[in-house]
Amino acid sequence: MLLQRVMFLPLFTQWNRQTTKNLVPRFPAVRLTGFRSNSSVPDVKERTLIAVKPDGVQRRLVGQIIRRFEQRGFKLVGLKMLQVSEELLSQHYCQLTQKPFYPSLVEYMTSGPVVVMVWEGQNVVQSSRAMVGPTNPAAAPAGTVRGDFSLHVSRNVVHASDSLEGAQREIQLWFQGKELVKWGCWDQTLTCEE
Ligand code: UDP
Ligand code: MG
């Protein structure tokens, strides 16, 4: 029995390799090496910062939020979970520090871990704002993250950069360059014209 298994294993491995090779050429841009970080992968066009806020993490919404971005065709290039410091938050929300709601915003955002991500793709800044919905969930249409998962502006589940400049600033604030992964996505030619 053991001998049979030992003999069968190389055959199976061979079959698996062949099958993979046969499947891959159906997609013109695909190369097996394309799944790894590769210096020949073209440089990125647009990136944005998305964060699942502490209420979203506590309510186990991380997976559903990631799923929406993957499903749309965007590419995840950075991801981490952390407990935000007040210092980082004051830089992130530098335009809001004088607002009356700022102290409660700090309390909310430091109440538990956040999951912060960088997503990449065509028009990702504008599209992700549309996917997330307006700041106040009461005004957010069904189908948006805030419209589907939240009720009140003080617990609106997710952050999304609001402009190209904002995205660039926020990505640099939350991530070190080496934490962002450049990788070739095999279905890029199916979701976008090159
Ligand atoms: N916020 C709040 N009360 C307000 C306005 C904003 O608690 O009246 C919080 C809310 O969490 C919001 C965040 O502050 O997401 C940042 O506000 P901004 O205007 O940048 O909205 P966003 O870009 O998140 O839609
Ligand atoms: Mg904002």
DSSP annotation string for 97-111: TTSTTHHHHHHHHTS
Nearest in space to 125 (alpha carbons), one of 159, 100, 82: 159
Most ligand 1 atoms within 8 A of CB, residue of 105, 155, 163, 169 to mutate: 105
pLDDT at 48: 98
Most ligand 1 atoms within 8 A of CB, residue of 156, 158, 161, 162 to mutate: 156
pLDDT tens-digit readout, 18-56: 444 444 444 444 443 344 444 444 455 899 999 999 999
Dihedral in degrees, nearest 10, Cα atoms 67, 71, 74, 75: 60
pLDDT band at 194 (very low <50, low <70, confident <90, very high): low
Secondary structure of 75-98 in HEC code, one letter for each residue: EEEEEEEECCCHHHHHHHCCCCCC
| Residue 89 CA, ligand 1 centroid: distance in Å | 13
Q: Is 83 left (phi over 0), alpha (psi -120 to 50) or beta?
A: beta
- Span 102-126, average pLDDT: 98
- How many CB atoms sit inside 10 A of residue 139's CB? 12
| Reported pTM | 0.82
Q: Which of 159, 167, 171, 188 is catalytic?
A: 159
Cα(68)–Cα(12) distance, integer angstroms: 35
- Looking at ligand 1, which residue's alpha carbon is closest to its atom 6? 153
| Residue 30 CA, ligand 1 centroid: distance in Å | 41
Report which residue type is found at 70.
E
Burial label, 103 (beta-carbon count in 10 A; 0-12, 13-18, 19+): exposed
pLDDT band at 186 (very low <50, low <70, confident <90, very high): confident
Question: Helix, strand or coil for residue 65?
Answer: helix
Is 159 marked active-site? Answer: yes
| Residue 187 CA, ligand 1 centroid: distance in Å | 35
